[in-house]
Amino acid sequence: MVTLNKKMAMALVAASLLASPSIAQDKKGTNLSEKEAAATDSSKAVDTLALGYKLADYARTAKDARAMIVAAKMVDSVTTKEGTDKGKIEGTGKGSGTAKVTTAADLFAEAKTLAGGDADIVAAVEAAQAETSKGVVGGAIRTVQYVPGSTTWTVRFTARGGEPLVVGVRRDSSTPLGLKIFDENGNLVCQDMSGNVTLYCRVNPIWTGPFAVQAINYGGYGTGVAMVTN
């Protein structure tokens, strides 16, 4: 019986040694699955924030106060915590400034302004504010940084294999911004170059590993940038 156990142990060790090179080889490829990963509470939180801010952008352009109310409620429903890693700024641009976080309170205030004195809409805004539900949807990590013109802001995150990595980036000025995400091997796995105020990316990692998220300021002027991720 002792001999059998030793043989089994040796077989397990051999199997482990054979498996290790295979895992290492897998990680040399692109860490991006074609299969959609199931959403988690934290990825849903980032989705909600990004959609809320996109709706706010639409409401602002369309001067739609009721749409702004919905956007404010979506933003208010998500709990966020501030990221501790401020990342790295690289490029030729210089200068400093501040980055402002657009809150649900800001959006409710915008909704009142868009109401243009309409008593019914103002009442709807106040009713929505009274029903705030902070923290209902998951949780997101929010990192805020001032990004000078002609520079790239890079923040690194570790994502779990089989779970989605969701990233939203929002600028607070009119300067053109791009969003790119690279895996640990330098492969571009997602980008949003739409030029919208709010940019969005979703990645489905195969294995647990680091990713580099880049907010690229293509303009000549700096801007505040808020990055949210799970």
Provide the pLDDT for residue 2.
41
User: What is the torsional sign of CA 98, 178, 155, 230?
Assistant: positive
CA 160 to chain centre: 15
**Token pair of 122, please?**
């103002």
Inter-residue contact 226 to 103 (CB < 8 Å): no
pLDDT along the chain (230 residues), means of 10: 48 44 63 94 94 96 97 93 91 86 94 96 94 65 95 95 96 94 97 96 96 96 95
pLDDT tens-digit series, residues 31-52? 999 999 999 999 999 999 999 9
55 closest CA partner among 39, 40, 76: 76
Dist CA 170 CA 71 (whole Å)? 14
pTM: 0.83
Q: Which helix (H) or strand (E) holds 226?
A: strand 223-229
Q: What angle do CA 64, 131, 103 make, to 5 degrees?
A: 60
pLDDT tens-digit series, residues 136-172? 556 799 999 999 999 999 999 999 999 999 999 999 9
The residues that bridge with 142 in the sheet, in sequence order, are: 82, 228
